[in-house]
Structure 1
Amino acid sequence: MIAGQLVTAAHGAVVAAEEELPNPLLPETYDIVWSLFIVVVLGFVFLKYALPKIQAVLDERTEKIEGGLALAESAQAEAQAALAEYQQQLQDARTEAARIREEARNEGGAIVAESRTRAQAEAARIVENAQRQIEAERQQASVSLRAEVGTLATELASKIVGESLEDEARRSRVVDRFLDDLEATTAAGAADAGKGN
């Protein structure tokens, strides 16, 4: 029992000692009051002087940001307009290039057609000149051949007939008859050859 009383007394002493000691987690009342007074004074100074300056700086920054955004939007609009103009100019240049290509193609076709016409006309002229020259040479050869054949025929006929055919009119008749017979024989041979095919 004595031990129980001792424990109770000790416990009572501990409780009494705890009641007399202040709680370290709770400040004293005067500390709370002065702290509250200092917070109110600092809050008043902050609201009266610092907050308007901070608000002015924030408003100025907001204006600068909004101005920058407006400038960016106007620059973007200008860039869009410049891009649209560039695309229009590019389209116009492509259209112009296509038109020039088409004109060049048409002019090239016209030049080729003109060159072809000139070449055909030149070829026809050359052929015509060649035919005229051939005809002239054929007639010249025919005249020359007639003269030579006439001379040979006259000499041959003189020897066969035994009389002189020096008379020009007579000689001309004999030669013409001989050549006509020769041409008729050649034409008949050519016609027979043509029928045989």
Structure 2
Amino acid sequence: MGILIPGLAPTVVGVVSFAAVFVCMSKVLLPRINKVLGERKDAIEGQMEHAQQLAAEADEVLAKYREELAEARREAARLRQEALEEGTQLIAEIRADGLREREAMIVEAQARLAADRVIAETELRGDVVSLATELASRIVGEALECGADSEIVDRFFADLDAGSAAGLQ
């Protein structure tokens, strides 16, 4: 027989050895291997279910976050609008107060100017009368009294006022 074709004894030993190993493997090792593989499969499927649950919860949280973010943006826009309206209202109030103060100051200044004008006119009329009397005294060559002809002075100033009022119109 040749090297490639074994004899009967090695063939029987090989077949018996193979059958013994096969029986051991199929009765002892394969069930254990199948059990471990089944547990691993169950663990993987459980983790996948858990991962899907976590993904669903994450989607819910994300949706809630986006909703809250949109609400916060609406609230911020509302607050900005309210602040703008309040600012506009405050500016209008301040402007109105400023206009009232300006008008009050103008009225007060006009009253002061009118009072100063009356005082200045009175002083100037007195000075005009005294200067006119002094000038008349020099022209006439005699001393004249300052208040002697107050009717003439009053009539002169009345004509002067009437002339200036007619000139303004």
Corresponding pairs, count: 169
- Give the TM-score normalised by the residue count of structure 1: 0.70
- Give the TM-score normalised by the residue count of structure 2: 0.80
Q: Counterpart of 1:24 in 2: which secondary structure?
A: coil
Alpha-carbon distance, 1:93 to partner: 2.2
Which has the higher mean CA deviation after the structures are superposed, 123-132 or 153-162?
153-162
Aligned to 1:125: 104
Q: Answer yes or no: is 1:177 the counterpart of 2:163.
A: no
Q: Which has the higher contact order (CA 8 A, sep 6+)?
A: 1
User: Contact 1:153 / 1:175 at 8 angstroms: preserved in 2?
Assistant: no
Give the 3 Å change call, closer, same or farther, for CA 67–51 of structure 1 in structure 2: same
Q: Answer yes or no: is 1:94 the counterpart of 2:73.
A: yes
Q: Answer yes or no: is 1:44 the counterpart of 2:44.
A: no
Structure 2 distance, partners of 1:190, 1:49, is 133
Structure 2 distance, partners of 1:87, 1:110, is 34
Runs (5+) with no aligned partner, structure 1 = 1-21, 192-197
Aligned to 1:62: 41
Q: Counterpart of 2:149 in 1: which secondary structure?
A: helix
The alignment-based identity, stated in percent, is 41
Q: Counterpart of 1:40 in 2: which secondary structure?
A: helix
Which has the higher mean CA deviation after the structures are superposed, 155-164 or 40-49?
155-164
Alpha-carbon distance, 1:119 to partner: 0.9
Which has the higher mean CA deviation after the structures are superposed, 156-165 or 61-70?
156-165
Q: CA RMSD in A?
A: 3.1
Larger radius of gyration: 1
